[in-house]
Structure 1
Amino acid sequence: MKVTNYVKFLCSMGYNDTAISSITRDSSPCQRTPNFLLNLNLSSISIPELKHTVAVSRTVTNIGPILSFYVARVEAPLDINVIVEPSILFFNFTTKMLKFKVTFCSQLRVQGRYTFGNLYWEDGLHVVRIPLIVRSVIEYFYSET
């Protein structure tokens, strides 16, 4: 993650420009980005309200052998279809960072609970695990206080 990611995170959490500028020493205004929290480049993927289909992206950095490739393997959360694109990541002398997209589609038509799965990136020797946490919903519930 970079400093800009942390600033966007603070914006999405509701911090105002004044509070953020006191931390960052920069006066640029908050830029709210839709689905930013879902796309925050963390080592896990959490979808707290999956109503239909949601796609999230992640960026990974190769710290292994310079010439390497990793193949995706998914243990999908119960009643969730998971698609990873691309399903193979190739790293070489010039490509050290790559993006991939994970699309989640709920098969449930009832209000669901949190279900868990994993996305594995494997090269035959190493295994990188990304936990998947998903809660299917048919209605969004918000409490107004």
Structure 2
Amino acid sequence: MTTYFSPLDPFNVTFRRTVTNVGFPNSAYKASVVPLRPEIQINVEPEILRFGSLQEKKSFVVSISGQALKNGSFVSSSLVWSDGSHSVRSPIVAYSIKA
């Protein structure tokens, strides 16, 4: 997930994603954000995806917000879904650029 914004302006961006269970039936994946960055706030809803069967689809929302950053600066992190044995990682990058 990548977003850009005008320098020196606060920002708030929402991503909607849908995933498909290709692991085990009756599994649950918990979201975590690593590393936590003081420059941005990242919220994931729901925090846990519970699957009852293979090929079942679930949707989630990632909201990213932060205060103004200087032109050309960026912040990166990752959203990790884990069931304790398996992990799925999605990179998150937010950067400022003049239009």
TM-score bracket, shorter-length normalisation: 0.7 to 0.9
- The question of 1:105 aligning with 2:65 is answered yes
Q: Which of 48, 69, 74 pairs up with 2:4? A: 48
Q: Which runs of 5+ in 1 are unaligned?
A: 1-44
Displacement of 1:136:
4.1
Q: Which structure's relative contact order is higher, taking Cα pairs within 8 Å and 6+ residues apart? A: 2
Tell me what 1:115 maps to.
Answer: 75
Aligned residue type for 1:47: T
Deviations 1:22-56 (A, max 9, x none): xxxxxxxxxxxxxxxxxxxxxxx011227421111
CA distance in 2, matches of 1:91, 1:83: 21
Given that 1:73 and 1:120 are in contact with CA atoms closer than 8 Å, whether structure 2 keeps it comes out as: yes
Unpaired runs of 5+ in structure 2? none
3-state SS of 2:85 partner: coil
TM-score between the two structures when normalised by the length of structure 2: 0.83
Distance 2:20 2:4 in 1: 26
- Superposition RMSD in Å: 2.2
- Mapped to 2, the partners of 1:136 and 1:68 lie a distance apart of 38
